[in-house]
Amino acid sequence: MIREELVFVGVPDIAGRLRGKAFPRADLEARLQRGVGWTPTNVQITCFDLIAESPFGPLGDLVMIPDPQAESRVDFQDGGPADHILLGDLRELDGRPWLACTRQLLRDALERLKRVSGLDALMSFEHEFHLKGAERPHGDAYSLGGFRAQADFCETLIAALRTGGLDPDTVMKEYGADQYEVTIDPKLGLRAADEAAILREIVRGTAERYGDAASFTPLRNPAGVGNGVHIHISFRDEEGQPATYDPDAEHGMAVFTGAFIAGVLKYLDAIVAITAPSVVSYTRLTPHRWSAAFNNLGFQDREASVRLCPISAQEPDAIAKQFNFEYRAADGAATPHLALAAIIHAGVQGIEEGLPAPKATHYDLSALTPQELAAQGYIRLPQSLPEALDRFAGNATVTGWFPEGFAQLYCQHKRGELAFLRGKSMEAVCADYEASY
Ligand code: GLU
Ligand code: MG
């Protein structure tokens, strides 16, 4: 069959999907300048394809400009087409960034971090997902058997990630039924979110090559194990040296690290609407699911929203380099760029406010009464998407981090998603998200 290679340029949109258009590879140079056309109302296409209320209606035009810094080409060498993806930016026709360009929103947050603290952020997204077709019996958690059952997939996945320009770290059979996890090396700034978006597509593409399907849905069934996305963050100073750790401070948190984490925890109830943005996210974010249910810092505690990660290094320089913290209240329904923008803004807000480093909790917060929680300065995170959206929309500091009109657009989008699910059982809702993510 005759064939011509196509390139897909897509934007990580606010539904957490990569949406875009394909063009002949021969046109790539020209398209890097000219872009491809895009419609403002596309931003309101929810994860169920239904278009939420849009202030733009059928009007207006945008241009999607592919970024050669965010290119991934994977030829699986199975005779099928290569997966050739470029992420793009959404601009107005006069070249100005569009208000809902998620890559631009992240750039804005990173620039604010740099301006306020002089720091760059080094980050990595740790992804959990499940293979829908696997249907293995129970008893596979972390096992060699469970790994071997998908060893072909795992090996192709690692090769595909590397070919696509990412640096694979580990792959494992996770605890949940048919659940796997893949990690990649951390990257600076925008690149970290770009790689998270690319990784999801490579995982899906690899599963499809094996006649299977991967899903990053936050929760496959109400009683099951959640798929989390844990975001690891550390800082580099202007010389590129590690700047997260202070050996003399409590739990090793340098002043900016402590203030950053304090900001994330202070604004957490208002940003989960962005980092855990599906209906099923809020069943995952409940106590004893190893996710996050309160706005607490944990020292090596997997039920804390922010966890100080373990250090295996022994030498001071190596410890400083390895020291990082992990945001656990995120999932695969979130756009990596938007989630990171919200987390970075919250952290920088904490730095600007000069917040003291939080104390780490060492006990089960779910055992406390609401009064006891409040007395210690903790809150239970929102327990539903509508509640999370209200906290987001109601927090003027948080909505003020984004361009005028963005918060309203985001809430309208999510309300459209909610409308699609109205009246459905939790099982049906889980199935809808599993099909979408
Ligand atoms: N599956 C858990 C989650 O939903 C995380 C388990 C782990 O700590 O890796 O976040
Ligand atoms: Mg895990």
Instruction: Please check whether residue 134 is in contact with residue 211, taking contact to mean a CB–CB distance below 8 angstroms.
Output: no
How far away, in angstroms, is 298 Cα from ligand 1 center? Answer: 14
d(CA 434, CA 218): 8
d(CA 136, CA 178): 6
Rounded to the nearest 5°, which phi and psi values hold at 139? 105, 10
d(CA 385, CA 262): 23
Amino acid at 284: R
Contacts of 279 (CB under 8 A, 6+ apart): 384, 385, 417, 418, 421, 429, 433
How far away, in angstroms, is 263 Cα from ligand 1 center? Answer: 23
pLDDT at 338: 98
In which residue are the tokens 């409590």 written?
250
**Shortest-distance atom of ligand 1 to CA 302:** 8
Q: Taking the chain (437 residues) in consecutive chunks of 10 residues, what is each chunk's mean pLDDT?
A: 96 96 98 97 96 93 97 96 97 96 98 98 97 80 88 97 98 92 98 98 97 96 93 97 95 96 98 98 90 88 89 92 96 98 98 96 85 89 97 98 97 98 96 96
pLDDT at 143: 87
How far away, in angstroms, is 227 Cα from ligand 2 center? Answer: 8
Residue 147 CB–ligand 1 contact under 6 Å: no
pLDDT at 101: 98
Residue nearest to atom 6 of ligand 1 (CA): 290
Instruction: Please check whether residue 413 is in contact with residue 43, taking contact to mean a CB–CB distance below 8 angstroms.
Output: yes
d(CA 11, CA 42): 11
- As separate numbers, helices (DSSP H) first and strands (DSSP E) second, the chain gives 14, 15
Residue 71 CB–ligand 1 contact under 6 Å: no
Rounded to the nearest 5°, which phi and psi values hold at 115? -65, -45
Q: How would DSSP label each residue in 278-319? A: SSTHHHHSSTTSSS--BS-EEES-TTSSEEEPP----SHHHH
The DSSP 8-state label assigned to residue 92 in this structure reads -
d(CA 16, CA 332): 7
pLDDT at 137: 66
Residue nearest to atom 10 of ligand 1 (CA): 228
Residue 226 CB–ligand 1 contact under 6 Å: yes
Residue 284 CB–ligand 1 contact under 6 Å: yes
In terms of C-beta density within 10 A (0-12 exposed, 13-18 middle, 19 or more buried), how is residue 145 classed?
Answer: exposed
d(CA 391, CA 382): 8
Residue nearest to atom 7 of ligand 1 (CA): 290
d(CA 296, CA 303): 9
Residue 302 CB–ligand 1 contact under 6 Å: yes
Q: Which residues pair with 121 in a beta bridge?
A: 235
Residue 126 CB–ligand 1 contact under 6 Å: no
Between helix 406-421 and helix 426-436 the angle, nearest 10°, is 120
Residues in the chain: 437
Residue 305 CB–ligand 1 contact under 6 Å: no
